[in-house]
Amino acid sequence: MKNLFKFGFLGLALTIAVASCNNAETKTEATADSLSNVVDSTTEKVADSLENVADSVRATGDSIADSLKNVQ
């Protein structure tokens, strides 16, 4: 009878330990997903900024090229 209580208590302790570990994994996965979304958003903003700068430089270069054509 004593062994039965010991095994029952051990089973309960293992069940609680497994349940708490599963919650930690879920929180970790949620955190990873959140960080992934932030990284994706930041990457898109940086890419858009770089495209805007490239467009501005391209427009300035075209303007200079047109000015040089008019000089000749």
In this prediction, residue 40 carries a pLDDT of: 84
- Residue count of the chain, please give it: 72
What is the spatial distance between Cα 53 and Cα 33, in angstroms, rounded to a whole number?
30
Q: C-alpha angle with apex 33: 51 to 24, nearest 5 degrees?
A: 160
Going 37 to 43 to 49 to 52, the CA torsion angle's sign is negative
CA 70 to centroid of chain Cα atoms: 50
In this prediction, residue 5 carries a pLDDT of: 66
pLDDT digits (tens, 9 = 90+) for 1-59: 566 667 777 777 777 777 666 555 566 777 777 888 888 888 888 888 888 888 899 99
**What is the rounded average pLDDT of the residues 59-65?**
89
In this prediction, residue 38 carries a pLDDT of: 84
